[in-house]
Amino acid sequence: MCGFVGFVDFKEDVSKNKNILERMNKTLIRRGPDEEGYYIDKHIGLAHKRLIVVDPDGGKQPRLEKFSFGTYVIAYNGQLYNTKELKEVLVGNGFSITTHSDTEILLKSYIHYGKDVVNHLNGVFAFVIWDTNKNELFLARDHFGIKPFYYTFVQNTFIFASEIKGMLTYPGVKRIIDEQGVSELFGIGPAHTPGTTVFKDIYEVKPAHMGVFNNSGLHLKRYWKLESKEHTDNLSQTCEHLKFLLQDSITRQLISDKPLCTFLSGGLDSSIISKFVSDYHKEKGLPPLDTYSIDYVDNDKNFVKSDFQPNSDAFYIDLMNKHLYNNHHKIVIDTPELADNLEDAMIARDMPGMADIDSSLLLFCKNVKKDMTVSLTGECADEIFGGYPWFFRKDALESNTFPWSISIKERQEILNPLIGAKVNLKDYINYRYNESLEEVEILDSDSKETAEKRKISHLTLNWFMQTLLDRSDRMAMYNGFEIRVPFCDYRLAEYVWNIPWEWKSLKGREKGLLRYVCKDFLPSEIVDRKKSPYPKTHNPTYLAKVKGMLSTIMEDKNAPINSLLNRDYILNILKTEGKSVTRPWFGQLMTGPQLMAYLCQVNMWLERYEPRIEL
């Protein structure tokens, strides 16, 4: 896992701009702390920062391959999980493979398949390939956008990077927030509309998109999507195929030349991953699997049960440890650390995010990184299998908006009245919501419930899951650490997409089918445990800390947050210690203290990134 930056200009000689390329690349040092590399020619500059996971010597980038018919150069961020199959095809077609790096496999697969290469890849990836013969740049991003890819233009120059910060050092790239940017930030945020960013004229390559940049411009197109079709397997066949897909996906993702572990919360999803990997270690005669969990100082004393967080993790983690071939490690975070790392979490995202939900993962990865480089997690099972409360709650299903973000009135009220008079968040949210639903394909054979759940699944997969995948990538890679998500295998998602909802919610349970599939190899307490989200701190010292931070910001009437947001509204949040916030701002956990922390992040972002507001 790594990061890359670059620029292409067909009208100017960019070979003299290596100093610009170096400045851009320097911004990604946390994504790739181990190595860097450069390729620069008349029309292109490419730079790479590398986190070494596989083949230390053979995976250096940018990688260049010369053939009689042309020269190709690749910069790549990701990991392929089907290198074995690809290698067999390449060798069978006369290619010589000199490393065991997937970078070589990917580049030569492109040379073999051409632009159709994306239809032969199983993995996570964002990459560019420069064809010196055609004077053309090919680019692609993985099926679910697990690896990031951003771009912009300055006159004729196409500029791209793994993170937005990689482009902001390029001369002429402007930091402008227009009406759409404000709407994204406060209407959609911390999610975002696929393809957009909060900055005007800075875009992302959408998930499952590929394209070329050549003399005629940038040409992007979608190469994959979830297709609705009739599910023909019976329940028994469905369960067996799910077991195969799960085991295959997890096993494929164990490739690493660096220490590998799993995250274990005691929930269904992380327990499935840990059980499979633990059994693999035992069968192969490997040392016990290292598993890691997160908790917070005095959380056991202060835990408060809620609909969204019905129980704590400790009991279930201990239970799973009795059923695993593992060495378990418990990382305990203190509340001041969560608040102190809000700014780093914001910098990692290049925008305000999920407050301490972000900073806690950042700190978790920082601690695990001391001994490990790669971890498998249970992320994305809830999106794929229907595990969130909004798949079942009437108020969410009937909200006619994104069900994890139904507090639209509050979002409008938090804007500075002068800005609120120009920006109608409700209209923007409605537009994006309906635009997304138009993409859903409903079958005539779908039951009413399956049709309804296709819609909410589509929204969850394309919006909420993307936000969590962004979080996982940025918080982990900020520490030079790699997170893998086996539940997000596109083959698994394709298969589950068409399973009738009545089976997915077997026995009326969230992830009912997944529970049923796993009942024979997990403890019943784990199988039956109610969905519980990523753990947050319940320690009251966190509320006191973020309240103090936000109060200090609000005491400064020149603080940039006052020009963007409603000062009186924020002061009321402080006065009530967040109790005026009755519903989560986003997801399941962003209530009073988290909203205060989010507002602190907004001010930090305004101070550090200095965007110009143009309405």
User: What residues act catalytically?
Assistant: 2
Q: Please report the beta strands in 14-120, taking only residues with DSSP state E, as ranges in sequence order.
A: 35-40, 44-50, 63-67, 70-80
The residues, ordered by sequence, that sit 6+ positions from 418 with a Cβ below 8 Å of its Cβ are: none
Say if CB 362 and CB 479 are below 8 A apart: yes
Nearest 5°: the CA angle 420, 422, 427 is 80
Please state, in angstroms and rounded to a whole number, the distance separating the CA atoms of residues 249 and 332: 30
* Distance separating alpha carbons of residues 381 and 513, to the nearest angstrom: 12
CA 105, 108, 112, 113 torsion-angle sign: positive
Phi, psi of 98 (to 5 degrees): -105, -10
How many whole angstroms separate alpha carbon 243 and alpha carbon 245? 6
For 587: left if phi > 0, alpha if psi spans -120 to 50, otherwise beta; the answer is left
Distances in Å between the Cα of 392 and the Cα atoms of 144, 255, 583, 595 are 24, 37, 17, 25
Any idea what DSSP says for residue 506? G
- In contact, 218 and 160? CB cutoff 8 Å: no
* Segments in 421-464 forming alpha helices (H): 425-437, 448-459
Q: What are the beta bridge partners of residue 326?
A: 289
Q: Where are the alpha helices (DSSP H) in 215-267?
A: 235-252
